[in-house]
Homo-oligomer: A and B are copies of this chain.
Amino acid sequence: MKERAVVLDALLDRVRSLLQEGRAEEAAALLEDLWPGELAEIFAELEEEEQRTLLEHMDPSTSADVLEELADPEAADLARTLPEDTLTAIVDEMEPDEAADLLLDLDPDQRLRILAELEDPEEVRPLLRYPDESAGGLMTTQFLALRRRMTVAEALEAVRRLAPSADPDNIFYLYVVDRYGHLVGLVSLYDLIRARPDARLMDIMDSDVISVTSDVDREEVARIFARYDLLSLPVVDEQGRLIGIITSDDIIDVVEEEATEDIQRLGGSQPLDRPYLDTPALEVVRKRVGWLLLLFVTASLTGTVLRMFQGELSRFVELTYFIPLLIGTGGNAGSQSTATIIRALAVDEIDLGDVLEVVWHELRVGLILGAIMAGVGVIRAMTWGIPLPVAQSVATALVLIILWATTVGAILPLVAHKVGIDPAVVSGPFMSTLVDATGLFIYLQTARLILGL
C-alpha cells in the first residue's frame, strides 16, 4: 500500500493548490472517487476553511462519507460551519447511525430543523435515543427483516427489491422475524442461494441467534463479536423485537478506540476526544492536569514519610542515595503487574472471582523478582562502598517493596473493577504514587530496625 500513500500525498498537494486558486469545483471533483477512509485522511491534513469549501462543493454523498469517517467531535465542528441546507443534504446521505451521532452533537434547535427536512426522518429519529457508547448507538436501522413463512424464492425477491443504494455489507445475514417483529432466526445469503426455492425460511433458518439489547455497552458488544467470531449482530428491544443490526467493521473501530482510551488512562490522562494533533494544547492540559494535581497531593505523602525519618536520614546520608532507586523499582514492578491485570480484565480473561488466584500468582512472582533484585542491590551497594548494614537494609527493603508492589498492582485494578470504576483510570500513575509513599515507609522502617536506630 506504499505507492498508494505517494498518490494520496500528490493528490493532497494538488487539491490544496486548486483551492488556493479558487478552483473549488475541480478540487472537489478530484476527491469523488476516493475510498471514504482515504478521503478522511486527506481531510485531516487540510485547514478548516479548506474543509468547509470542499464539503460545500462535493457531491453530498461524498461529503457524507467524510463526516462518517471523521472522529465525532471533529465532524460536528465541521458541520456547524456549513450552511444548513448543505448540511441537511449531506445528513440525508449518511448512514442512519452515523447521522444520529452527528445530530446529537449539534444544538437541539438545529437538530430538530434538520430532522424535519430529511427525506426519511424515521430512519434516524429512533436512533437519537441511544447513547453513543451503547449497542443502540452502534446499530443501523438499514437492514432487511424477513418473515418466517416466506419461501426462499420470496426472500430472494425481497433482496432484489431493496433499494440499489443499500449497503451490501449489511445484508449478508438476513434476519427472520415473526408477525410481531420478534427475532426468531437467521439465514445467510449463501443459504438462500443454495436452498430449494419453495423451502420456507422457518425450515432452513438457524434459530439459535445471538443478539443483544440496545442498552448493552459497546465494550461488551465487542467482546461478543470476538467470542462468537461474528460478522454482524442483531439488536432487539426488551420484548425481543428486532430493531437494528451492528456490523463488524464498526466493531474494529470500537476495539481500537477502547484500547486507545485504556492506554491514555493508564498513562494518567483522560482520553482525548479527537486525534492528538487536532486537540488544542489547552484541551490536552485540561485532560491531564486533574490527575497530575491529585497525584501531586498523594505524592506529598512521601515528604511526610521522609520528615518522619529525619533523624535516620541525617545520620546515614547513604540511605538517601537509594530512595529514588527503591521507589522507582517498586513502581516498575507494580506497573508490570497492573498492566497485565488491567488487560486481562479488559479482554475478560479474569474477573473478581479470580482474586485469590491472582494474588497467589503475584506473590510468587514478587518473591522471586524481589530475591533477584535484592542480590543485584547488594552488589550495587558494595561497589558504592556503602556500609554493610545499609546494604542489608536496601536488600531486605527491595524484597518487601517488590512483593508489596506486585500485589497492590494486581489488587488495585480488581478492586476498581468491583466498585465500577474503569480499572485503567485508577491504576497507572495512581499505583506508582501509592507505591512510592508506602515503599518509602517500608524502606526507612526496615533501615530503622536493621540499623538499630
Residues of A within 8 A of B (CB): 1, 35-38, 41, 156, 159-160, 164, 166, 168-169, 171-172, 188-194, 210, 212, 216, 220, 222, 224-231, 247-249, 251-253, 255-256, 259-260, 262-264, 266-269, 272, 275-277, 281-282, 284-285, 288-289, 291-293, 295-296, 299-300, 302-303, 306-307, 310, 313-314, 317, 320-325, 327-329, 331-333, 335-344, 347, 349-350, 354, 357-358, 361, 364-365, 368-369, 372-373, 376-377, 380, 384, 428-429, 432-433, 436-437, 440
Q: A343-B263, A347-B256 are in contact. Are A332 and B1 (CB under 8 A)?
A: no
User: Do residues B338 and A285 form an inter-chain contact, with CB atoms below 8 A?
Assistant: no
CA A349 – CA B357 in complex, angstroms?
39
A161: nearest chain-B partner, CB-CB: B194
A346 to B340, CA, bound (A): 19
B329 touches A299 (CB 8 A): yes
Q: CA A18 – CA B323 in complex, angstroms? A: 57
Residues of chain B within 8 A (CB-CB) of A361 are 276-277, 281, 284
Q: Which 9 A-B pairs have the closest CB atoms?
A: A267-B339, A259-B259, A302-B324, A37-B227, A229-B249, A303-B321, A168-B190, A281-B364, A172-B172
Once bound together, how far apart are the Cα atoms of A331 and B306, in whole Å?
A: 19
Are A1 and B255 touching (Cβ within 8 A)? no
CA distance A192 to B168 in the complex (A): 11
A320:B313 contact, CB within 8 angstroms: yes
A324 to chain B, nearest CB (A): 4
Complex contacts, A188 vs chain B, CB 8 Å:
168, 172
Does B433 lie within 8 Å of A332, measured CB to CB?
yes
Q: Which residues of B contact A354 (CB under 8 A)?
A: 277
Given known contacts A169-B231, A252-B255, A338-B267, is B322 in contact with A285 (CB within 8 Å)?
no
Chain B residues within an 8 Å CB radius of A212: 1
Decide if the interface of chain A is mainly helix, strand, loop or mixed: helix
Partner of A313, one of B189, B277, B317: B317
Candidates B36, B164, B285, B343; contact of A368 at CB < 8 Å:
B285
List, in ascending order, chain B residues with CB within 8 A of A259's CB.
255-256, 259, 262-263, 343
- Among residues of B, the one whose C-beta sits closest to the C-beta of A44 is B349
Please, how many angstroms separate the alpha-carbon atoms of A225 and B35 in the complex? 12
Q: Point out which of A229, A342, A433 has the most chain B C-beta atoms below 10 A from its C-beta.
A: A229
- In the assembled complex, the Cα of A276 lies from the Cα of B337 at a distance in Å of 10
CB distance from A44 to the nearest CB of B (A): 8
Q: Does B281 lie within 8 Å of A365, measured CB to CB?
A: yes
Contacts of A171 in B (CB 8 A): 190
Report the nearest B residue to A257, measured CB to CB: B347
Knowing A248-B252, A299-B328 touch, does A335 contact B368 (C-beta < 8 A)?
A: no
For residue A220, which residues in chain B have a CB less than 8 angstroms away from its CB? 1
In the complex, A247 Cα to B306 Cα: how many Å? 58
Q: Nearest-CB distance from A13 to chain B (Å)?
A: 14
A285–B368 CA distance with the chains assembled, in angstroms: 7
